[in-house]
Amino acid sequence: MKNFEYAVPDSIDKTFEYLKSSKAILKAGGIDLLDMMKEQLISPDRLVNIRELEELKFLKEDTNGAFLIGPGQTLSELAEDQTINKSYKALAQAAGGVASVQIRNSATLGGNLCQRPRCWYFRSADFHCSRKGGDTCFALDGENQYHAIFDNTDGCAIVHPSATAVALIALNAKLIISNGEKDREVSIEEFFVTPANDIERENILNKNEMIITIIIPADIKDYLSYYHKQKEKQTFDWPLADVAVALRMEGDRCQDARIVLGSAAPVPFRSKSAEQALVNQNINKDTAIKAAEAALIKAEPLTLNEYKVPLFKTIIYRTICHTVGIDPMN
Ligand SMILES: Cc1cc2nc3c(=O)[nH]c(=O)nc-3n(C[C@H](O)[C@H](O)[C@H](O)COP(=O)(O)OP(=O)(O)OC[C@H]3O[C@@H](n4cnc5c(N)ncnc54)[C@H](O)[C@@H]3O)c2cc1C
Ligand code: SF4
């Protein structure tokens, strides 16, 4: 590993000063960043450690009733927080399902949203694929069992790795991004970049920018939400497929639905067809099955991941049922 400077700012202002160095990069929990450095996929000249920065750690409601989360909150803290469990359950479940307890104690929300893809060709220095500036996607004709079943024809078939992003899109979250001089607010859906727009990046952050706040709008308190992750093994593992559902209900009738699939596409995939199948319907097992079927109509599996189609249908059905308290197995 190349030598690097280690900067520990004591304020957000100082963080932006340290970031001005040409190859400086933020380090939060370091779980993904250090992997990338050890594999020699990146070689920063300065790590700016924000893991202990108190200014980035907060969970609070603003005067308008929106819930504000600091990007420095760990995944364990999100999974255990009472307000999040009560009002934004999908987020608590997504954060609590990531990796192992040791990783969740270190990993932060900001780092989870900005982690790089897990595609094994991308993670190996031996494969100079399109996402690293090469001209080939090795997954398209290779080992693609964990890759995308939607939007996989634009030269890169990664699945977006962040579980919390799936939940936060279902919860219609927004992000405040800053470069130290100017802040901008974006919907979290606009934060992620598709391969068609730029194959070498996963989000819109410029080099000197960071996420300083995650906002869940006030009206989301009126929604019920649920997140489910299907893993290959029961100990800590990445999802084969995951889904977050948020429903605004009036009695048994669904007024609004937000359904997001993870491990399905290069960015967390919002299934508008599943949502449309639920709106203005009574939610029961039949409508849940119809929504799950609708979600997969346009799936285009690769050579080795066709299994994801029935898998997603099952977990979407189950997650919709769980959201409204129906036992999907009975
Ligand atoms: C065995 C294993 C299993 C895992 N399983 C899952 C899983 O199932 N689901 C899942 O979602 N993740 C999973 N992960 C990934 C893990 O959750 C992430 O690596 C971790 O959340 C990253 O957070 P961090 O704070 O350590 O980020 P870091 O590694 O410190 O940073 C990651 C990236 O984010 C940037 N960054 C950090 N904070 C900010 C900020 N505030 N603004 C802008 N950029 C920022 C950094 O510069 C860096 O580029 C797994 C990891 C392992 C090792
Ligand atoms: S899926 Fe994307 S990251 Fe993986 S080999 Fe293809 S181009 Fe590279």
What pLDDT was estimated at residue 302?
98
SS (H, E, C) 53-73: CHHHCCEEECCCCCEEECCCC
Over residues 308-318, the mean pLDDT reads 98
**pLDDT at residue 330 is higher than 90:** no
Q: Is 137 in the pocket of ligand 2 (CB under 6 A)?
A: yes
Whose tokens are 């497929």? That residue is 241
Dist. CA 143–CA 171, nearest whole Å? 33
**pLDDT at residue 22 is higher than 90:** no
Dist. CA 296–CA 300, nearest whole Å? 9
Nearest to 303 by CA among 178, 156, 146, 108: 146
CA of 304 to the centre of ligand 2 (A): 15
What pLDDT was estimated at residue 100?
95
Q: Is 283 in the pocket of ligand 1 (CB under 6 A)?
A: no
Assigned CATH topology for domain 1-55: 3.30.43
What pLDDT was estimated at residue 281?
98
What pLDDT was estimated at residue 172?
98
Q: Is 112 in the pocket of ligand 1 (CB under 6 A)?
A: yes
Question: pLDDT per residue over 70-115, tens digit each?
Answer: 999 999 999 999 999 999 999 999 999 999 999 999 999 999 999 9
CA of 166 to the centre of ligand 1 (A): 14
Q: Is 94 in the pocket of ligand 1 (CB under 6 A)?
A: no
Q: What is the CATH number of domain 223-259+269-323?
A: 3.30.390.50
Residue 59 token pair: 């969970």
Which residue's alpha carbon is nearest to atom 6 within ligand 2? 137
Dist. CA 166–CA 244, nearest whole Å? 6
In the chain, the amino acid numbered 131 is: R
Residue 246: how many CB atoms within 10 A of its CB? 26
Q: Which of 122, 126, 199 to mutate to test the pocket of ligand 2 (most atoms within 8 A of CB)?
A: 122
Q: Is 32 in the pocket of ligand 1 (CB under 6 A)?
A: yes
Which residue's alpha carbon is nearest to atom 4 within ligand 2? 119
H or E segment to which residue 109 belongs: helix 109-114
Over residues 162-168, the mean pLDDT reads 98
Ligand nearest to the CA of 129: 2
CA of 160 to the centre of ligand 1 (A): 12
Nearest to 52 by CA among 72, 76, 68: 72
Q: Which residue ranges make up each domain of the chain?
A: 1-55, 223-259+269-323
What pLDDT was estimated at residue 234?
81
Over residues 34-44, the mean pLDDT reads 95
Q: Which of 238, 240, 267 to mutate to test the pocket of ligand 1 (most atoms within 8 A of CB)?
A: 238
Atom of ligand 2 minimally distant from the CA of 142 = 5
Atom of ligand 1 minimally distant from the CA of 163 = 11
Question: pLDDT per residue over 198-242, tens digit each?
Answer: 999 999 999 999 999 999 999 999 999 999 999 998 888 999 999
For 107-119, b/e burial (b = at least 16 CB within 10 A) is: bbbbbbbbbbbbb
For 147-160, b/e burial (b = at least 16 CB within 10 A) is: bbbbbbeebbbbbb
Percent of the chain with pLDDT over 90: 97
